[in-house]
Amino acid sequence: MSVTTRRDAASIREDWLRVALSTEPADRPEAEAAITGLYRLNGLPPPRFHWVPSPADLPHVDAAPLTRLFSGRRRQLTRDLDAAILVTQRRREQVRRQVVWPLNRSRLPFRLVVYDHDRDWPDVHDVSWLAYYDCLPWAPGVDGIDLWDRAARAGGWWVPHRQVCVVVDRPAVVHTQPGPQDGEVVVHRDDGPAVVYRDGRPAYAWRGLRVPRWVIEEPTADRIRNEPDPDVRLAAIQRLGWPEWVDQSAARLIATAPDPGNDAELHLYAAMEHTVLIVVNGTVERDGTRRRYGLIVPDDVADPVEAAAWTYGITAPLYKQLVRRT
């Protein structure tokens, strides 16, 4: 892919990130016009629209028959678009790597919504497929993509019903941080709600995972032990801090060893479902202390020095030769 193409792809990816992360009030007339067009495209009369300020206000009514209809139509649309694309397979793969995969890996606000009536419907709101077709030219004559594009750009989450379409306004506040790989963004805040909806309702997220309020604001060892979801448990431990979790949970000490080139010890623990290496930072903080932190390491590592070497991607003998780390 040329430099120009990469720049264009990155620009389109960032454009769709801005759409997904927008906190501007929804353009209600535009959103309603686009969704009405999608209803007509599916052979349905225009619906009434009911706007709600947050996902908590979505009605507990089974919408699966209609969401399946819309989802099936979208699948046919993507097949038609794929057949009409005027570029090589190699170019398509490049666009997937540059645009689709980073957006798919990003944990964006619409993925915080839990819609229990139809597990497939959240995927319809994924902007990555719209960004993909934004990057690629196709032959004219495919109807519908413009309506999905307009609906995504104008409003928030929406759920179709036979007589009424329920639409969630965009959130008022969204906090994010860079994801683990280039081009990724995750919804995250470690000291309060990551998303605040227009009615003031909060949603908490840790590195893109929706979590209960206590994980962010009141993590405790007892709550962590009683949490059945392993992903939420891990988020709560990370929020609390691995050293604090090890101290409060009476984690089993596997082994200790001097840290080569650092006047401190390495401690390897079995902490619930994880093996964790507790290390001491080589740099003294301004208050004269040295920060402890924890690193998850493979379960089959029993030697603290080998565990420390693994975190650097080197062998234990090479790690022992380090003069000093910071």
Q: For residue 24, is pLDDT > 60?
A: yes
Of residues 54, 38, 58, 55, the one with CA closest to residue 46? 38
Q: What is the pLDDT of residue 103?
A: 94
- Quick check: is 82 in a domain? yes
Same domain, 233 and 248: no
Same domain, 146 and 188: no
- Quick check: is 26 in a domain? yes
- Quick check: is 180 in a domain? yes
**Count: domains in the chain:** 3
Same domain, 184 and 77: no
Q: Which of 152, 170, 188 is the last residue of a domain?
A: 170
Same domain, 45 and 163: yes
**CB 275, CB 303: distance < 8 Å:** no
**CB 297, CB 303: distance < 8 Å:** no
- Quick check: is 325 in a domain? no
Q: For residue 155, is pLDDT > 50?
A: yes
- Quick check: is 16 in a domain? yes
pLDDT tens readout for residues 168-223: 999 999 999 999 888 899 999 999 999 999 999 999 999 999 999 999 999 999 99
Q: For residue 146, is pLDDT > 60?
A: yes
Same domain, 191 and 204: yes
pLDDT tens readout for residues 273-321: 899 999 887 666 666 567 888 999 999 999 999 999 998 889 888 888 7
The domain of 151 spans: 3-170
Q: Which of 170, 193, 219 is the last residue of a domain?
A: 170
Same domain, 13 and 106: yes
Sorting pLDDT into bands at 50, 70 and 90, what band is 6?
low
Same domain, 13 and 99: yes
From residue 145, alpha-carbon distances to 92, 191, 268, 307 in Å are 18, 39, 53, 50
Q: What is the mean pLDDT of residues 240-264?
A: 88
Same domain, 214 and 283: no
Q: For residue 55, is pLDDT > 90?
A: no
- Quick check: is 163 in a domain? yes
Same domain, 18 and 115: yes
CA atoms in the 13 A half-sphere facing the CB of 46: 8
- Quick check: is 326 in a domain? no
Same domain, 108 and 165: yes
Q: What is the pTM of this model?
A: 0.85
- Quick check: is 195 in a domain? yes
User: How many Å is the maximal CA-CA distance in the chain?
Assistant: 74
**Percentage of the chain modeled with pLDDT above 70:** 91
Angle made by CA atoms 54, 60, 63, in degrees to the nearest 5 = 100
Angle made by CA atoms 246, 178, 245, in degrees to the nearest 5 = 5
Q: Which of 240, 256, 276 is the last residue of a domain?
A: 240
Same domain, 118 and 194: no
Same domain, 298 and 257: yes
